[in-house]
Copies of this chain bind each other. A is one copy, B any other.
Amino acid sequence: MIGGHMGAAEDSQITPSRRGPRGGGDTARAEILNASIAVFAEVGYQSATIKAIAAQAGVDTKLVHYYFGTKADLFAATMSFLFADLGLRDQLLAVRTPGEGQGARYIKTALTFIEESDVGPAFLALIRSVGTHDESRRIMLTFIESVLHMIEGGEPEAQMRYRASLLGTQMLGLFFVRYILKNPVLANVPIDQLAHDIGPTIDRYLGGSL
């Protein structure tokens, strides 16, 4: 269960606890994120409500809005948090430095997240409806933007944004063909093989010469 790992991420600023004092903003944020993970995992994006998430976190709905904005914003923040928590942030940073296999590691972590985490289905539901549901589209844009913030630095911002967008094309297409189209070939290939074969693309988009 991904939520259970929350406090374990070394560089996480968030320490979950049993209902901290209201003054402890980090604690309340962590409670809300934990509740958000649990609710989105249980009922999916469409059926989840801010009210249910607030109730699970033991806070007022206004506090959820205060910290995270709309349900769409909260969902994007939750996905970003989980990705960072899994080490994907570090892996994206690592891929920016020359070396072998960082892109492969990133692919492996991302696919494992989707296939094994409790919120994988909610993430796929988001991807599935990106074409027909404007809110999903905005969540995905926010999510790509959050990935950008993970890898910024080292080059002019416009170039980093471009690199992050190229990353987005490969990852979104991979998710689509494997999990939504369920193209039989791609759906049945082991993650390690995809990581090996698609990883160099990620290496080049993020750290290679374009």
A: which residues have CB within 8 A of B? Answer: 127-133, 137, 140-141, 144, 158, 161-162, 164-166, 168-174, 176-178, 180-181, 183, 185-186, 189, 196-198, 200-201, 204-205, 210
Partner of A131, one of B131, B171, B174: B131
Cα of A174 to Cα of B137 in the assembled complex, Å: 15
**A141/B183 in contact, CB under 8 A:** yes
**B197/A131 in contact, CB under 8 A:** no
**Neighbouring B residues of A180 by C-beta, 8 Å:** 130-131, 137
**Identical subunits present:** 2
| Residue of B with least CB distance to A132 | B132
Top 5 A-B residue pairs of the complex, sorted by shortest distance between their CB atoms: A173-B173, A128-B131, A169-B173, A165-B185, A172-B173
| Residue of B with least CB distance to A187 | B165
Cα of A172 to Cα of B174 in the assembled complex, Å: 8
Partner of A127, one of B131, B144, B186: B131
* 18 chain-A/chain-B pairs, Cβ below 8 angstroms: A131-B131, A131-B176, A137-B180, A141-B181, A144-B183, A162-B185, A165-B183, A165-B185, A166-B197, A168-B173, A168-B177, A168-B186, A169-B173, A169-B174, A169-B186, A172-B176, A173-B174, A200-B204
**B176/A176 in contact, CB under 8 A:** yes
**B185/A176 in contact, CB under 8 A:** no
**Neighbouring B residues of A183 by C-beta, 8 Å:** 141, 144, 165, 168
**B186/A177 in contact, CB under 8 A:** no
**A166/B198 in contact, CB under 8 A:** yes
A198 CB, nearest partner CB in chain B, Å: 7
**A201/B170 in contact, CB under 8 A:** yes
**Neighbouring B residues of A185 by C-beta, 8 Å:** 158, 161-162, 164-165
A102 CB, nearest partner CB in chain B, Å: 17
